[in-house]
Structure 1
Amino acid sequence: MIQDHIDWPSFLGRHDMTWSVKPISWDDGAYIGNGTIGAMIYSEEHRDKRNVLRFVLGRTDVTARKSQGGYPPRVPVGELHLELAGWIYQPISIRVDLWNAELRAEITTTVGTVKVRAFVHSVDMALAVELETSPEEADAKLQWYAFSEVDPVLKNADGTNLNQYIPQAEVTRYSLEDTSFGVQRFSPQGGCTTAWKQSYSAENLNRRYLYLSIANGADESVQQQVASVIREASAQSWEQWVESHRSWWHDYYQQSFVSIPDTLLEGFYWIQMYKLASATRADGMIIDNQGPWLAPTPWAGVWFNMNVQMSYSPVYTSNRLHIGESLVRAFRNNFDHLANNVPEPYRDDSSGLPRSCSYDLINPVGTEIGNLTWICHNLWRQYRYSMDEKLLGELVYPLLKRSVQYYLHLLEEGNDGKLHLPPTVSPEYGSFLQMTVPDTHYDLTLLQWGCETLLLSSELLGLQEEDAAIRGRWRKTLERLVPLPVDETGFMIGKDQPLEFGHRHFSHLMAVFPLHLISGDDENERELIVKTLRHWFSMEGDLRGFTFTSAASIAAALGEGQEALSYLKSFMHLIKPNTMYKEAGPVMESPLAAAEGIHDMLLQSWGDTIRVFPAIPSEWTEAVFHNLRTEGAFLVSAVRSAGITSWIRIKSLAGQPCRIQTGMTGDIRISGVESAKFRQLEDGVYVFDLKEGQEVILYAKIDSDASAPGGEPSADEKLWKIKPIAADSRLCGYFGSRKPWRLYGLPIK
């Protein structure tokens, strides 16, 4: 058996985001959220507002219809201000406690002190603030402002974006018993309602509590809804309500475990796990470019030419499939809308997805064709990691079928007898030129993956006879599809279009990542991938955050751990101090995709083979993970010690065939159910036949004390231990405020 030696509060505590100076912008703000409601918390340096701690509020489903048409974008909902008697001064201590998902602050002002605790309840749609003041700060106020009421000094502190739509809003305030309401009605359509209530502690009159809820809509029923949330939350014992909030998060974190000897990257990884569950939940909205932390941006919508796909990329291996259910839910609920996105002649059998839209997924496709097929790859991963046949049959297969059918309508036979695609957009290449290219790598690979996956899916669902005619079309398409365009620099953007200038997107490398149509196992394939990768980065130019995260995953797929690590370390220079990321406005995907890059160094499972520690850099002599998930619905745990893999545990959740590349050498033993059938192949590859619920452990026979990390257990103590790698204390609590001096060995205690 595996024994868990993880002190979770202590382990996550070493990665809490910390501030010893007040944050003054979105870039270094402290953030909390429950997947729908969120707050970014920071202060201001302008002398007129140095007494204000801002809670910039957000709710992901609040959108506004524009009078000039187009899809309804996200819009700001207002702020909660802690207005102090004195200026926020020194010392200050702010911490985002990851384990408990709450902010705690001790603030010194020019007249007194204040303690703040804040969180967005994990289940109830309410933000809570606990405030304790010294007598000198007894007059501190918690005040709500609609966005239109926020002082311009604060409203413009993060800059303005003239591309962002801000609706005209009529604000109505009123009180009902002990609850206050702020109702915003947007013109011409839309609105939101905020309700809040304050109460004082019976034991300490210097301590007070505020409950605040936000709902989409402004009619009477919505007002009643938010009033009910406030009433039910405040009626509970404070301690019990806090505990119910924490309980959800404690269960969430323990779904899997990762520890690596790079303390900075380990901390970054766990903050991304916190960010994921703060940004959405199973019943939440799609993770858009903002999450619940809207800021000045031109991207107040949902982007599908990379952003959504990459934002969801870490949920699968991290064993957090319930987060991925929000994506599944969105496409279930809006399935019929997708047909209307393609031209009218194709709507009977085809569907599409535009570059950007709102949560209803409505907007014409245009010349960027492959976005829906790429989303289907995410949904396919949700299926493959869960082996939920109902998901495959009810959503993935019919949606992918319609997505591929749109491609089939566009195919044309060339003079070479091959099937070709007309000029389309390869995402982000020549965007401002609105460049279109025939036979783009992006579209050819997505079409190939789509046809292959449909053929497999129809077999899994037993639909070979029912779909015989269309199966023949998919097979012929694969047989006749034009090869991927290649030149002396590697993969091209498309036909007759080499990579001629800096390109931030990996749309010309989709065959390698994330589709894994080309593995690099063949020497010629590997040379082609490496050549493309080198040429891509040699162009420099427009390299962005997601350029580095995708390159890390590509390098990891080739087993190049050192190179993957270099890309991720380079990416660390591009993120904000609080691990957020911006390009003209906040975009969520790059930091989350970097977490997937870390997964890809530790565990991969594409191509029907599980690969354990496939891309470990030389300095990672130790590493450990527990209950990471793979395709085929396996939970895998493994320990690396002294530069070698000590043991691997594989647990089957769905009874699928298991092929695993262990990387282990020497005298390998197997412990587990005697009925488990297995074969050992070359190069440390094993094939197991595990029934649902069965598990086995592979371990290297070494002379070792049973208590040694990763060691072989004694005969009478059959257990293997999971415990964190020792941390570099200099890099604990690194994120939050900017602390670059900790990276370079300065003699700091």
Structure 2
Amino acid sequence: MRINFIYSGLAFSLAVFLFTGLLHAQQIVTPRGIDWATFLQQHDLVWTGIVPDYYSGAIMGNGLLGNNIYKEGEAYKFHIGRVDVTEGRMPADKSQYRNLYHGARLPIGYFLMKPVGAPLSENMRLNLWDATTTGNIITDKGKISFKSYVHATRDIIVLETDTEGEENGFQWDWNALKAISPRYTFGNKDYPQEYIDNPNPDVKIYTDGEYKLSVQNLLGGKSYIVAWHEIKEGNSRRIFITISQEQTEKQAIDKAKKTIRDAIKESPVALESSHKQWWHAYYPSSFVSFGNSKMESFYWIQQYKLGCITRPDKYIIDLQGPWAMEKTPWPAIWMNLNVQLTYSPLFTANRAEMSEPLWKSLNDNLQNLAENTSVNEWQEDAIVMGRSTSYHLLSPLKADMEDKMLYETGNLTWILYYYYEYCVYLQDENELLEKFYPLLKKSIAYYTHIKEKREDGKYHLPETASPEYKSARDCNYDLSLLRWGLNTLLKINTTYKLGDVKVPEWKDFIDNLVDYPVDPEKGYMIGENVNLTGSHRHYSHLLMVYPLHMVNWEQPENRELISKSISHWQSMPDYLQGYSFTGSSSMYSMMGDGQKAVAQLQKLIDKYIRPNTLYRETGPVIETPLAGAASLQELFLQSWGGKIRVFPAVPENWAQASFINFRAEGAFLVSASRYKGKTVFIQIESEKGGECRVQTYMNTDNLRVQQAKGAKTDFSVIDKAKGLISISTRKGDIIQLTDETLDTIIPKPVKHPKEECNPYGYKR
């Protein structure tokens, strides 16, 4: 039957089939069945005033270029950026290379829209579905209405305005920012003197025919150009902006002009339509609706941001995305938590392809990863990664470095954990064996070079850093990642019968590896003789619990240890930051405690998330809100340890919940819905075939398992209490699970009150 209802104050209808028992053969659930424009409208960012705050601006991007709209004085700032504009220098002595200066991400600049009159009121709305910002500025001299977007597939930023009264004469001014590391501008004193003594030349700004050009030549060799062109028709203006970067100034100018010329050839409607087309295809990769409207808005804005900050053919995501600031201590790519958390929500959201720039970069920069070992003899078989880097991944580590807090040996292995997820979520055996496996083998080889065998007959690790806290021997950060890496190498060898000659060595290593250092009262320690005695924002000592799940809640013997470790960590809140709450939320979800998991996310959202959902720790750091999206996913779907868990940690007060096409290990796409606190529908699409173990939490006595086309499917019950079953699938199977005693309701949006919608943006 067809049901009409009021959804967040907006009248629309959804085709919802309510019946008991067998689903109709044609009723295959896909995200395409969602009214996306209406659904996302309630999550648009809305401003009833525009303020002078980077973290309150309207952010747009296409994986390369970005634009952030906010206020400056009585003018309106269009702060633009390009993600790959970096310093690109290399000192004569390569050992003196400093990522935060020689490889720093550089700010570009901003345009100012200066009204003729004094602003009286203003408003703005970022339409998520169309990835377009519209706004109105009312002054004592008239009105400026504007629309802006960063084109999804062209390297062009578009601004269109219509004016009333004297505002037809508003000014449009360019302000170039100095090409110098934002870490130096921020005030840090750790700069190399030669970097400051050899500044980049000043920018050149001039008119070239119908184009305005801002030309910056870098000492590193490249040139980047900001070019813009304006078309005036009566009270309307169209401004086209691009940023190009090439090896020479002439090449950059030619590229910028061509980019603008090609955009102008299209009509305004056609240009905007091609932009929207990409975004309208992007969102329906998956769908989810939560029982909390603000968390739902937060989640979907993160999906929007992912489409702004990366694409399959672009670059590794750094800490700022395409919205570079002129003052921040973090103008690089951070590898000891930030990259890992940034990419964590992509796989379940069925957007795994968006992570490909990271994996490509690892494989393309293998020589630099080897040179990071800083020992010539190790470079033949080992790779490693320091704390921060640029796109070339050069970040050396020295085992004898004086400051052991810089000796973070586990960073690359942690990144490879997410590369492994990419492979197993897609069930891409070629990628796993030909690219991932050699990288993991070399990453673990670094540990074989530094391991120590003591009198107890066990292998130990020397003093290494536990990020954000202290260094220690037998650091749990490294022991967790080393165990995972060794187990994974052995598992791949067994599964694919590789017969690697290193297998006996790996077995010996893991069989004789020292246990995790544990305090009987407080749980997991930082490392040998180093306890957690003060507030620690990072969960570097708890990776074996999350995200690696090697120590988990399904092991009854470990539950007390897990509980006391998390409680002790969270009991000292002074230095906890946003990702302290995403990490603990995910751990509580692993424990099946949805109430605590959501409570931690509520702390994140209430205290740390800014009006446009960006996040700040001294400067912009992009990872934490994205990690929050992963934590929200884990309330509804978890996929680890060889099985899929459907709705493992839904809080009791979320009686209705649903998702469509969340991706799980084994290349399974899972859809499910809950109604009145019970799971009433699960759909599993098998892209590659194979055994599917799914923990349904449903009554297996009443469980009907069938092909979407109607044929009954055999299954075996593994754990009746948890509704854990095993289904043998063939490639292309779409299998649906229902409870014969309950109404089957397919996934659909949760209805939220109108007053709870559009919580982000800025409200006066």
1:537 partnered with 2:566 = no
Q: What is the correspondence of 1:204-215 to structure 2 with a 5 Å cutoff?
A: 205-215=234-244
Q: Which residue of structure 2 aligns with residue 629 of structure 1?
A: 663
Cα distance in structure 2, aligned partners of 1:146 and 1:169: 13
Q: Could you tell me whether the CA contact under 8 Å between 1:603 and 1:610 is conserved in 2? A: yes
Q: What's the offset of the Cα at 1:675?
A: 7.8
Q: What's the offset of the Cα at 1:509?
A: 0.7
Of 545, 548, 556, the residue aligned with 2:581 is 548
Of 58, 79, 85, the residue aligned with 1:30 is 58
Cα distance in structure 1, aligned partners of 2:533 and 2:591: 25
Cα distance in structure 2, aligned partners of 1:629 and 1:164: 44
Tell me the amino acid that sits aligned with residue 723 of structure 1: K
Cα distance in structure 2, aligned partners of 1:601 and 1:227: 49
Q: What is the correspondence of 1:666-677 to structure 2 with a 5 Å cutoff?
A: 667-672=702-707, 674=711, 676-677=713-714
Of 534, 538, 547, the residue aligned with 1:501 is 534
Q: Which residue of structure 2 aligns with residue 451 of structure 1?
A: 486
Q: Greater RCO between the two (CA within 8 Å, min separation 6)?
A: 2
Q: Which residue of structure 2 aligns with residue 716 of structure 1?
A: none
Q: Which residue of structure 1 aligns with residue 13 of structure 2?
A: none
Q: What is the correspondence of 1:257-296 to structure 2 with a 5 Å cutoff?
A: 257-295=287-325, 296=327
Cα distance in structure 1, aligned partners of 2:621 and 2:251: 33
Cα distance in structure 2, aligned partners of 1:620 and 1:502: 32
Q: What is the correspondence of 1:206-285 to structure 2 with a 5 Å cutoff?
A: 206-217=235-246, 218-285=248-315
Q: Which residue of structure 2 aligns with residue 145 of structure 1?
A: 175
Q: What's the offset of the Cα at 1:370?
A: 0.4
Question: In terms of mean alpha carbon deviation, does 165-174 or 222-231 score higher?
Answer: 165-174
Cα distance in structure 1, aligned partners of 2:289 and 2:742: 25
Cα distance in structure 2, aligned partners of 1:207 and 1:162: 45
Cα distance in structure 2, aligned partners of 1:555 and 1:243: 43
Of 373, 394, 406, the residue aligned with 2:446 is 406
Q: Which residue of structure 1 aligns with residue 760 of structure 2?
A: 735
Cα distance in structure 2, aligned partners of 1:118 and 1:461: 51
Cα distance in structure 2, aligned partners of 1:382 and 1:359: 20
Question: In terms of mean alpha carbon deviation, does 118-127 or 364-373 score higher?
Answer: 364-373
Cα distance in structure 2, aligned partners of 1:188 and 1:528: 52
1:74 partnered with 2:105 = yes
1:2 partnered with 2:28 = yes
Q: What is the correspondence of 1:639-650 to structure 2 with a 5 Å cutoff?
A: 639-650=673-684
1:133 partnered with 2:163 = yes
Q: Secondary structure at the match of 1:103?
A: strand
Change (3 A) 1:685 1:69: closer
Cα distance in structure 1, aligned partners of 2:621 and 2:179: 26
Of 602, 605, 610, the residue aligned with 1:569 is 602
Q: Which residue of structure 1 aligns with residue 460 of structure 2?
A: 420
Q: Which residue of structure 2 aligns with residue 58 of structure 1?
A: 81
Cα distance in structure 1, aligned partners of 2:417 and 2:45: 33
- Structure 1, residues 480-536: CA drift from partner, whole Å, max 9, x if none? 000111112101111111101100000111001111111221222111111000000
Tell me the amino acid that sits aligned with residue 36 of structure 2: W
Q: Which residue of structure 2 aligns with residue 587 of structure 1?
A: 621
Q: Which residue of structure 2 aligns with residue 701 of structure 1?
A: 740
Q: What's the offset of the Cα at 1:86?
A: 1.6
Tell me the amino acid that sits aligned with residue 625 of structure 1: F
Cα distance in structure 2, aligned partners of 1:539 and 1:723: 40
Of 204, 213, 224, the residue aligned with 1:181 is 213
Change (3 A) 1:160 1:703: closer
Cα distance in structure 1, aligned partners of 2:63 and 2:450: 39
Q: Which residue of structure 2 aligns with residue 348 of structure 1?
A: 380
Give the length in aligned residue pairs: 702
Q: Secondary structure at the match of 2:316?
A: coil
Cα distance in structure 2, aligned partners of 1:149 and 1:419: 48
Tell me the amino acid that sits aligned with residue 671 of structure 1: Q
Q: Secondary structure at the match of 2:704?
A: strand
Cα distance in structure 1, aligned partners of 2:420 and 2:114: 49
Q: Could you tell me whether the CA contact under 8 Å between 1:64 and 1:189 is conserved in 2? A: no
Question: In terms of mean alpha carbon deviation, does 60-69 or 730-739 score higher?
Answer: 60-69
TM-score, reference length from structure 2: 0.89
Q: Which residue of structure 1 aligns with residue 692 of structure 2?
A: 658
- Structure 1, residues 525-560: CA drift from partner, whole Å, max 9, x if none? 111111000000112221001100000111101111
Structure 2's unaligned 5+ residue stretches are 1-26, 399-406
Cα distance in structure 2, aligned partners of 1:461 and 1:125: 43
1:384 partnered with 2:413 = no
Of 40, 46, 54, the residue aligned with 1:12 is 40
Q: Which residue of structure 2 aligns with residue 620 of structure 1?
A: 654
Cα distance in structure 2, aligned partners of 1:181 and 1:286: 28
Q: Could you tell me whether the CA contact under 8 Å between 1:676 and 1:690 is conserved in 2? A: no
Q: What's the offset of the Cα at 1:144?
A: 2.3
1:680 partnered with 2:709 = no
Cα distance in structure 2, aligned partners of 1:383 and 1:164: 39
Q: Secondary structure at the match of 1:552?
A: helix
Tell me the amino acid that sits aligned with residue 487 of structure 2: E
Cα distance in structure 2, aligned partners of 1:2 and 1:390: 30
Q: What's the offset of the Cα at 1:462?
A: 3.8
Structure 1's unaligned 5+ residue stretches are 431-435, 705-709, 712-720, 740-749
Give the percent of matched residue pairs that are identical in Structure 1 and Structure 2. Answer: 38
Cα distance in structure 2, aligned partners of 1:2 and 1:14: 26
Tell me the amino acid that sits aligned with residue 82 of structure 1: M
Q: Could you tell me whether the CA contact under 8 Å between 2:705 and 2:715 is conserved in 1? A: no
Q: Could you tell me whether the CA contact under 8 Å between 2:107 and 2:179 is conserved in 1? A: no
Change (3 A) 1:655 1:188: closer
Q: Could you tell me whether the CA contact under 8 Å between 2:61 and 2:308 is conserved in 1? A: yes
Change (3 A) 1:676 1:429: same
Tell me the amino acid that sits aligned with residue 315 of structure 1: L
Cα distance in structure 1, aligned partners of 2:529 and 2:622: 34
1:42 partnered with 2:77 = no
Q: Secondary structure at the match of 1:681?
A: strand
